Structure 1
């Protein structure tokens, strides 16, 4: 099966970055079936130079033929996205907001 590498980008990562990584990573693994090969750290400019908490997720690689084929499937992309969504919902304590919507049709609504 494929490898998922979810990286906190620099060795001196903030505690928030580490917490985000620890929350997102298992959610993505659960949704995609990627093999859990552990979380990685690396010194990438894109997150090293930011002042906010940051992580970089790598969700398969196009130079791997098996992963490239999976990445062409919209259902697999949906699984990757859902893993990220689940993690973000947990990180930020998000709740669904349901709104009742009324449509006026010109007749009596009974209310």
Structure 2
């Protein structure tokens, strides 16, 4: 199993992280991250952990992000960003990928070398190359880590690409495919059925138990208890929070977690 930590840099209201017209960097970053997550989920044997606030409302401290990735023992970390020069429109521009200066691992450099040209191609922007730079996300992470800059928000050349949802989606998929190349991931086989449950469905000891199960599935209160009282509060661990953030929770997961939550009380 390959564990990938993804990070949409900054938050919606982080000062200075916006275009001259007021568009927020986090909004660009998050679209790329979501596309990357969706594409990674098409590969076998991958787990994904999102390090930033998926709503963007909180600019999660950098130490919190890297602590989370380190504790999870991620195999790689990608921090997704978009650049700016002076906050004024100009003709500068281009894509670059950053690795930690001096101490970057060979794995970090190799991943960056695979992903950088893929982003350049999909965004259709100038190639500024892979660059060494000192920053927290690559310095403090225990795993191979890179920071992508998918174009300049204050560039008259780059901004049309950043405003294109299709381009941002392609950028996210480029990152995912680059990671898949490095880790030699295989795509899931289309149409492969999930392993069947016994006799094709869950077994219940009685009609009363079945009705109780179905009632839990339909209950909004159950979902609120699991999500607000359990997942968001950290009662079930980072894996379940990641599955919820990536919209991967199944109905059976909700019911199971509700029962687990009740037994913890």
Query: Fold conserved (TM > 0.5)?
Result: yes
Matched, 1:22 2:113: yes
TM-score computed with the length of structure 2 as normaliser? 0.36
Aligned to 1:48: 139
Unaligned stretches of 5+ residues in structure 2: 1-91, 195-265
Q: Which has the higher contact order (CA 8 A, sep 6+)?
A: 1
Change over 3 Å in CA distance of 1:70–1:30 after alignment to 2: closer
**Paired residue total:** 102
Matched, 1:100 2:192: yes
Cα-to-partner distance string for 1:36-94 (whole Å, 9 max, x where unaligned): 23221100122111111111000012122332332111111122112112201101111
Distance of 1:87 and 1:100 partners within structure 2: 24
Distance of 1:96 and 1:33 partners within structure 2: 26
Change over 3 Å in CA distance of 1:52–1:100 after alignment to 2: closer
Aligned to 1:106: none
Cα deviation, residue 2, structure 1: 4.2
Q: CA RMSD in A?
A: 2.0
Task: Tell me whether 28-37 or 88-97 shows the greater mean CA deviation.
Answer: 28-37
TM-score computed with the length of structure 1 as normaliser? 0.79
Distance of 1:65 and 1:33 partners within structure 2: 14
Indicate if the aligned counterparts of 1:31 and 1:82 stay in contact, CA closer than 8 A.
no
Task: Tell me whether 10-19 or 58-67 shows the greater mean CA deviation.
Answer: 58-67
Cα deviation, residue 19, structure 1: 1.0
Matched, 1:83 2:174: yes
Indicate if the aligned counterparts of 2:93 and 2:151 stay in contact, CA closer than 8 A.
yes
Cα deviation, residue 11, structure 1: 2.0
